Amino acid sequence: MSNQLADTATPKQGGMDRFLNLIEKAGNKIPDPAILFFWALIIVWVSSALLSNVSFDLVNPRTGNPLEITNLLTGDALASFLANMVTTFTGFAPLGIVLVAMLGVGVADSSGFITTGLKKMLSFTPAKLLTPMLILVAIVSHTAADAGYVLVIPLGGIIFHAAGRHPLAGIAAAFAGVSGGFSANFIPSGIDPLLAGFTQTAANVLDPEYIVNPLANIYFTGLSSVLIVAIGWFVTERIIEPRLNATTNVDEDAEEAPDLGSMTELESKAFKYAGWSMMAGIALLVFAIMPENSALRSPEGEITAFSAPIMQSIVPLIFILFIIPGIVYGRVVGKFSSSNDVIKSMSDTMNTMGAYMVMSFFCAQFLVAFGQSNIGTMLALYGAEGLKAMNLPGEATVVGMILLTAMVNLLVGSASAKWALIGPILVPMLMAVGISPELSQAAYRVGDSVSNIISPLMVFFPLVVVYCQRYVKNTGIGTLASLMMPFSIAMLIGWTIFLLAYWALGIPLGIQAPYTYTM
C-alpha cells in the first residue's frame, strides 16, 4: 500500500511546500506532547510568580474585579496542586469522552460492523465525492458535541486508507470539518444559545433592552457549511494529498486497510440485523425525547440546550448505539462467541489509547494551572483593548476581531470562556460604531474556528496526532500542524471574505429579535 501512496519522483517544491516542510521540521523538533505540556506547566508557574506583583489597569469582565495574576509558586498553591493532581487528571473532560466512546466504537470496529458499514457507504458514494462527503459528515457531527473527534476523524483515515488514498489526508480532511469548521453547521446545537447568552449580556452593557436570539447566526453558519466543504475539498485534493503522496509513506507495519470489496451473504445478513438493532435504539431514544416534559429535555423543554440531559448524554449514547449493533454483528458472523470476546475487544481498544492517557495527564495539569493563573485572561483583554484603541473602519474592525479571536484561540481553548472575556469589551464597542451584536458574534465564531486545527493546546489535538501515528508512527505535532496549516489559512481568508460579503449584501445572519439597536 505504501508504494501506491508515494511517488518515487519528488516534484519541484514550490513556496507552499517549502513553508509547510519548514513547519513540519520545526514542529517535529518539539518534544512529545506530554513533555511539551510539562514544560508549559513550568513556564506558567514561573510566569505567574513574576507577574503576580504587577498591577494591571484592566477589569476581568467575568468577575468585575481588577485583573490579577495568581502566583502558583506559593506554598499553598503547590500544596493544592499536589492534593488535586489526581482529580485534575480524572476530571479532564476529553479523557472520559474519548475512552467511553472508544469502548463502544472498539467493539463495533473489531466485530467488523464498521467495516461493513463503510462498504455500504462507499457502494453509493462516487469516488470523486468521497472528500466532500467526509467533510460534510464532520460538520454535521458538531450537533453531537465532541462526537466528531472520536468518530469521524479516525473514520476519515480508515475510509481513505480503504479507498487506496493516503489515510493522513482523510484524517486531515475530517479534522478540518470537525474542528476548523466548528461554527459551520445548518443544524442548531448547544453552542448557539450558549454564545447568544454571552452576546446579549455584553450588548446589555450599552443597551439594557437589546435581545439576542439563540439562532441569531443560523443562516450564516448554515451557508458557511457549503463554503467549508468547498474549501476543505480543494485543500485536501489539491494541496494536502499530493504532498503526502510525494513525501510520506504509510508504515509497513501500520494498520491494514480494511477490505471494502464485495460483501458476503453472511456479512450482509449480520449488518442488516445490527442495523435494525441500532435503528431500534434510535427509535426508542426519539420516543423518549418526544414528550415536552421528557426527562431528557432541559427544564425549559429544550432539546439542544447544554443543560438538557440528552446533550449531556451524547457520549454514553454513542457507547450504547455502537456496542449493541457491534455485539449483534459479531455474534451473527461468529466473531464473538462469548462475552469474553466482547471484553477482549474493549481491552484491545484501550491498549491503543495508552499514549493519549499519558498526554492527557500532563495536559490536564497544565490547563488547570493556566486557567488559575489568569495569564490567558490578561493576554485576551490586552488584545481586545488594543483592537479598541486602533479605532479602525467597520470592515477592518471585523477583520481585526477575527484575527484577534484566532490568536486568543491558540491560548484559550473554550469557546464560551473566550467570548465571556472579550465579548463584554468588543460587543458594546462595535455597537457604538454601527456593528450589530449578531455580526460581532459571527465574526467571533469565524476566528474561534479557523485556528483550532493548528493549536497544540486544543485538547483534542494530541488525540489526532495519535490517530495519525496508527499509519505513520513518526508523526509529531509538526507533521499535523503542517497538514492543517493550509486548511487554517484558506478558511481564515475565505470565511472572512464570505462574512464581509454577507454583511455588505445585507443578508440576515439568522433569526433576530424584532428589536434592533440605534444610536
More confident residue, 399 or 19: 399
Residue 293 lies in a domain: yes
- Percent of the chain with pLDDT strictly greater than 70: 83
Residue 17 belongs to a domain: no
Q: What is the pLDDT of residues 56-66, one digit of tens each?
A: 877 776 677 78
The answer, yes or no, to whether residue 12 has pLDDT greater than 70, is no
Residue 513 lies in a domain: no
| Whether residue 406 has pLDDT greater than 80 | yes
As a whole number of angstroms, the distance between CA 503 and CA 509 comes to 8
Residue 514 lies in a domain: no
Angstrom distance (rounded) from CA 88 to CA 99: 16
Higher pLDDT, 424 or 259: 424
**Cα gap 83→223, rounded to integer Å:** 48
pTM over 0.75: no
Residue 395 has pLDDT above 80, yes or no: yes
Residue 4, pLDDT score = 40
Count CA atoms within 13 Å of residue 240 on its CB side: 32
What is the span of the domain harbouring residue 458?
31-49+68-505
Query: Is there a domain that residue 342 lies in?
Result: yes
Check residue 87 and give its pLDDT: 93
**Residue for cell digits 454514553?**
316
**The total number of structural domains that make up the chain:** 1
- Lowest mean pLDDT segment, chosen from 91-105, 110-124, 482-496: 110-124
Q: Is residue 57 part of a domain?
A: no
Q: pLDDT per residue over 70-113, tens digit each? A: 999 999 999 999 999 999 998 877 688 778 878 887 888 888 88
The whole-number pLDDT of residue 175 equals: 94
**pLDDT in the model for residue 158:** 87
C-alpha span between 27 and 10 (Å, rounded):
22
Phi, psi of 349, rounded to the nearest 5 degrees: -65, -45
Instruction: Please check whether residue 419 is in contact with residue 198, taking contact to mean a CB–CB distance below 8 angstroms.
Output: yes
| Element at 341 (helix H, strand E) | helix 339-351
Return the bridge partners of 59, or none: 66
The per-residue pLDDT for range 24-39, each reduced to its tens digit, is 566 556 666 678 778 8
Distance CA 274, CA 408 (A): 45
pLDDT digit string (tens) for 142-183? 665 566 787 788 888 988 988 889 999 999 999 999 888 888
User: Is pLDDT of 436 > 80?
Assistant: yes
Please state the rounded mean pLDDT for residues 1-10: 39
Runs of H (alpha helix) within 391-436? 394-409, 415-431
The model's confidence at residue 8, banded by pLDDT at 50, 70 and 90, is: very low
**C-beta atoms surrounding 321 within 10 Å:** 19
| Inter-CA distances, 386 with 168, 206, 519, Å | 39, 20, 24
| Nearest to 180, CA basis, from 242, 121, 231 | 231
Residues of the chain above pLDDT 90, percent:
23
CA neighbor of 439 nearest in space, from 492, 388, 397, 406: 397
Identify the pLDDT of residue 34: 78
What are 292-336's pLDDT values in tens digits?
888 888 888 777 666 788 877 877 887 888 899 999 999 998 889
Residue 3 lies in a domain: no
- What pLDDT shows up at residue 85? 94
Higher pLDDT, 141 or 62: 141
Q: What is the pLDDT of residue 446?
A: 94
**Rounded Cα gap, residues 303 and 286, in angstroms:** 11
- List alpha helices for 130-236, DSSP H: 130-140, 147-150, 152-162, 167-175, 191-203, 218-235
3-state helix, strand, coil in the chain (%, to 5): 70, 0, 30
Within a domain: residue 288? yes
10 pLDDT higher than 50: no
Query: Would you call 318 helix, strand, or coil by DSSP?
Result: helix
- As a whole number of angstroms, the distance between CA 519 and CA 516 comes to 10
- Per-residue confidence (pLDDT) for residue 103, from 0 to 100: 86
